[in-house]
Amino acid sequence: DQQVKQNSPSLSVQEGRISILNCDYTNSMFDYFLWYKKYPAEGPTFLISISSIKDKNEDGRFTVFLNKSAKHLSLHIVPSQPGDSAVYFCAASALSGNTGKLIFGQGTTLQVKP
Amino acid sequence: DTGVSQNPRHKITKRGQNVTFRCDPISEHNRLYWYRQTLGQGPEFLTYFQNEAQLEKSRLLSDRFSAERPKGSFSTLEIQRTEQGDSAMYLCASSFAAGVLGEQYFGPGTRLTVT
């Protein structure tokens, strides 16, 4: 069963515009959410996270929004830059379970066009 | 610190052979995770260690897979009698214990091809 879903396999935006990547989850026990970025031939790189006690977290051009009632989170990148072109993974964890293991979505490939 | 390192970066093996991968985590991190990623999918959890103790194994980890972290530092993942379905990217990650900082830092991965 896919507990974390990224329903858009790809997204293309123009440089300078906003990129919005979406993620849905099904497990109510998840209380910590992360976004990772992955370039080809590299491991995933941590981008930003959010705890379930918050509904927004911002770090520079990156903002993550969490809607617990809808079990939905999104990553906003403003303004988008060509260097942001990569695969973005949403991940969730149940910190209360104390394992820390991450459950990943399938990924969304973002292409930012100059 | 240079981050998480994994060796080898690529491994091609014939079906039925055994392979072993190594992961060196960030030195201050006491948790170490192994994940497997296949094409078009996100990483899937395999197992994790806190210090030298292996605390959880996924049902994805068949009896042919074994992982160790003998001194709580580096870890090895061995696959015995490899099958073509084992072809994947094997990723290692490390972190502080969950609840303090949940972020996991990944290595570059070992790409396994079983022919």
List pLDDT tens digits, range B25-80: 998 889 999 999 999 899 999 999 999 999 989 988 889 999 999 988 999 999 99
- Out of A41, A44, A106, whose CB is closest to B41? A106
Q: Has residue A40 got a pLDDT over 70? A: yes
Q: Which amino acid is at A84?
A: D
C-alpha to C-alpha distance for A99 and A29, rounded to whole angstroms? 13
Q: How far apart are CA B2 and CA A77, in angstroms?
A: 28
State chain B's mean pLDDT as an integer. Answer: 92
A89–B91 CB contact, under 8 Å: no
Is B105 in contact with A46 (Cβ distance < 8 A)?
A: yes
pLDDT value, residue B20: 98
On the question of pLDDT at B1 being above 90, the answer is no
Q: How far apart are CA A6 and CA B47, in angstroms?
A: 23
> CB neighbours of A104 closer than 8 A, spacing ≥ 6?
A4, A36, A89, A90, A91, B42, B43, B44
Q: Are A75 and A68 contacting, i.e. CB atoms less than 8 angstroms apart?
A: no
Write down the pLDDT at residue B98: 55
- Residue B94 near chain A (CB below 8 Å): no
Contacts of A102 in chain B (CB under 8 A): 33, 35, 43, 45, 104
Distance CA B84, CA B86 (A): 5
pLDDT over 70 at A91, yes or no = yes
* pLDDT over 90 percentage in chain A: 86
Over residues A9-19, the pLDDT tens digits come to 999 999 999 99
Helix (H), strand (E), coil (C) string for B32-81: EEEEEECCCCCCEEEEEEECCEEEEECCCCCCCEEEECCCCCCEEEEECC
Return the pLDDT at A68: 96
Q: Which residue of A has its CA nearest to B43?
A: A104
Residue B99: is its pLDDT beyond 80? no
- Calculate the alpha carbon distances from B88 to A11, B19, B59 in Å: 25, 13, 17
Interface touch B102/A99, C-beta < 8 Å: no
The band of B103, judged by pLDDT with boundaries at 50, 70 and 90, is confident
Minimal-distance CA residue of chain A relative to B40: A106
| Whether pLDDT at A104 is above 90 | yes
